[in-house]
Amino acid sequence: MNFPATRMRRLRRTEAMRSLVRETHLHPGALIYPLFICPGEGIRKEISSMPGVFNLSIDEALKEAAASASLGLGGLLLFGLPAEKDEQGTGAWAEDGIVQQALRAIKQDRKLDSLVTIADVCLCEYTSHGHCGIVARDGEEFTIENDSSVALLAKTAASLAAAGADIVAPSDMMDGRVEAIREALDARGKQDTPVMSYASKFSSAFYGPFREAADSAPQFGDRKSYQMDGANLREAMREIDQDIAEGADMLLMKPAMPYLDVLREARNRYDLPLGAYQVSGEYSMLQAAFQRGWLEPERAMMESLLGIRRAGADFIVTYFAKEAAKVLN
């Protein structure tokens, strides 16, 4: 069938027609809002590189949670800024750790039951050196130890689940951590807590603003010996295979926009629920363009999310969650 019998524009003529034939939809219930929890009270400190994103004390975080619930968001992803950091990151698995406290507070309020609470599992926010695992030093050289880090991550995940996390989400990229976390959860009676694995997490410049938000920049070296090389799609599939074999219940891909092909490939290959994380740098560069008047905020925001959804994400972790839900509601 060729022109003039076929005219593609027939189905674009009115908004009603376009709406009828739309292939991809966003909805608030598939958006997850990250929160950065800090000690104190009444604290609401804006991240300079992330307009509209804050370090929040627990009382302020509860207000954000209430707003998220009334907007119909799917859930919250919690990160913590501990009062003190050390070499091992003990604050990550402390029973009264900052995220553990926040989880208990959220779980006490029945009005927040519609939100799934997801706890990021990593050590970088809690270690004095800012790496995601244990550092072994040898003169000027250093390595990030895998197996000793995994044991601490497993402890952290169990502690977060016991405090009320509905899902634990390891973002550290150590080998074998999903299996160790599954075992630690089961041993703590948390056999019903799912593991959402950041299965393919690339070493990315787009995490820059997050490291200000979470105060987690590595003090020396970089994360390239544990996070993935951005050039490797096939390796990303092997990471996912591995995590599924170890018992991952859900997958999270990250970053999103520079890796939409990896997301699509994962969607084609795997049947697990699949999410994508529109990371801090993706948010910040759009915000920078909005501030300069270079892009239309609402349209650019929604287009960026729609692209992630079209590439295959069932759900999206995004700092735009509340703003996008306002547009969708």
Q: Which of 207, 226, 270, 320 binds ligand PBG (CB under 6 A)?
A: 207
Residue range at the interface with ligand PBG (CB under 6 A); choices 7-15, 68-76, 160-168, 204-212: 204-212
Instruction: Give the nearer residue to ligand PBG in terms of CB position, either 100 or 284.
Output: 284
Pick the catalytic residue: 85, 155, 190, 254?
254
**85 part of the active site:** no
**116 forms part of the interface with ligand PBG (CB under 6 A):** no
Nearest distance, CB of residue 151 and ligand PBG, angstroms: 17
The span of 98-106, 118-126, 151-159, 176-184 binding ligand PBG (CB under 6 A) equals: 118-126
3 state DSSP class of 8? helix
User: 21 and 14 in contact (C-beta within 8 Å)?
Assistant: no
Dist CA 323 CA 287 (whole Å): 12
Pick 65 or 213: Cβ nearer ligand PBG: 213
Comparison of 117 and 280: residue with beta carbon closer to ligand PBG: 280
Shortest approach of ligand PBG to residue 225 CB, angstroms? 13
* Burial status of residue 56 (CB atoms within 10 A of its CB: 0-12, 13-18, 19 or more): buried
Footprint of ligand PBG on 245-284 (CB under 6 A)? 279-280
185 binds ligand PBG (CB under 6 A): no
Contact 233, 202 (CB under 8 A): no
Interface residue with ligand PBG among 60, 120, 179, 243 (CB under 6 A) is 120
Residue showing the smallest CB distance to ligand PBG in the complex: 210
The answer to whether the Cα torsion of 135, 136, 142, 146 is positive or negative is negative
Which residue number, 280 or 304, has a Cβ lying nearer to ligand PBG? 280
Best CA proximity match to 98, nearest among 89, 111, 87, 109: 89
Catalytic residue chosen out of the listed positions 201, 224, 322, 326? 201
Q: Is 201 a catalytic residue?
A: yes
**CB 153 to ligand PBG: min, Å:** 11
Using CA atoms, how far apart are residues 75 and 117, in angstroms rounded to an integer?
6
Smallest separation, CB 279 to ligand PBG (Å): 4
Q: Are 41 and 23 in contact (CB under 8 A)?
A: no
Beta bridge partners of 80: 37
Closer CB to ligand PBG, residue 266 or residue 279?
A: 279
Of residues 121 through 140, those in contact with ligand PBG by CB under 6 A are 122, 124, 132
Q: How many CB atoms lie within 10 A of CB 139?
A: 5
- Among residues 74 and 130, whose Cβ is nearest to ligand PBG? 130
Q: E strands within the chain?
A: 31-37, 44-47, 50-56, 75-80, 116-121, 134-138, 141-145, 167-170, 196-201, 250-254, 274-278, 315-318
Q: Least distance in Å: CB of 203 to ligand PBG?
A: 8
- Classify the C-alpha dihedral 302-252-209-83 as positive or negative: positive
Taking CB under 6 A as the rule, does residue 210 contact ligand PBG? yes
Tokens, residue 74: 């799917």
Q: Is 229 helix (H, G, I), strand (E, B) or coil?
A: coil
Among 226, 173, 195, 204, residue whose Cα is nearest residue 282 = 204
CB closer to ligand PBG, 55 vs 171: 171
Strand partners, 32: 75, 317
- Report the DSSP beta bridge partners of residue 201: 254
**Smallest gap from residue 304 Cβ to ligand PBG (A):** 14
Stretch of 119-127, 137-145, 189-197, 262-270 lying at the interface with ligand PBG (CB under 6 A): 119-127
| Active site residue ranges | 201, 254
Q: Which residues bind ligand PBG (CB under 6 A)?
A: 120, 122, 124, 132, 171-172, 207, 210-211, 279-280
